[in-house]
Amino acid sequence: MLVCNYKKDVENMNIKTFIVDSFTNTPFKGNPAGICLLEKTISIEIMQSIAAELNLSETAFLLKGESNNFTIRYFTPTVEIDFCGHATLAASKIILDKFSTETVNFTTYKGLQLSANIEGEHIKMLFPLFETTDYITNQKLNDAFGIESALPTKFSKDLDMLIIEVKDKQTLLDINPDYQKAIESSETIKEVVITSKSEDKDFDFYSRCFCPWIGINEDPVTGASHSVLAKYWSTILNKKEMSAFQLSNRGGFLKLNIISDTELEVRSTARIVFEGEMKL
């Protein structure tokens, strides 16, 4: 575990720090993540303080093990979370570029095994694939997101994530949440993902992701949500390979391939936009 004494942590420590835009090949698009390469373990308190300082939706902390193996932990500006797809892609970009390797393996603090490798112009990652169950939303949550007529609604217990399908892309674009009302509507949900089928030839489905419960109102592009959306839309579309686009202001794309009942290949790109050292 990445834990040690707070006072010793902050004594003359420099941490290599990056900002990477994930799920895009264009700077200042996609989803930015902070990446901190640690030379030794540091406390959860300091990691949380760094994440708050960077103030990105997620910051990942990496500690090298043997060969191409790293431990990884994810923090929003306010809390630690179990898994973050775009920060995993950002971390993969840093390791694959800076360590001159073609593969990397990550272990999360809860033991989840993740991997990534270079495939042409993309980075290919192996993510878990999560199941959902039927869910009935309460009226307060529907009101918070302005949803009058949702299609099937599902819940992923693994990620405390609610999936709500709406009828089309324009309905999805028109969503304008009342975030405080959303927070008050549920004590168990951490993310609401609203999705629609695509009528465009380039993509199979669209989504937007809202996470005010963990300090992020709208996440620009969310890898973890596609670990749920992939199986959801695969069942509806009868497809294993799909292309997805997240309709935030920044926007970003993911190419998905379901390879088993529990594993998902995700391919996309990322751009390093900042590199420096954090001095503590």
Catalytic sites, residue numbers:
58
The beta strands (E) that lie in the chain are given as 14-22, 31-38, 58-64, 69-75, 80-81, 103-108, 113-119, 122-128, 133-134, 153-156, 161-165, 191-197, 205-211, 216-219, 241-246, 252-258, 263-268, 270-279
Token pair 């996470």 is found at 211
The CA-based diameter of the chain, rounded to the nearest angstrom, is 56
Sign of CA dihedral 165, 170, 171, 176: positive
What are the structure tokens assigned to 22, written together?
A: 């994930």
Do 35 and 87 touch, CB atoms closer than 8 A?
yes
What is d(CA 193, CA 219) in angstroms, rounded to the nearest whole number? 10
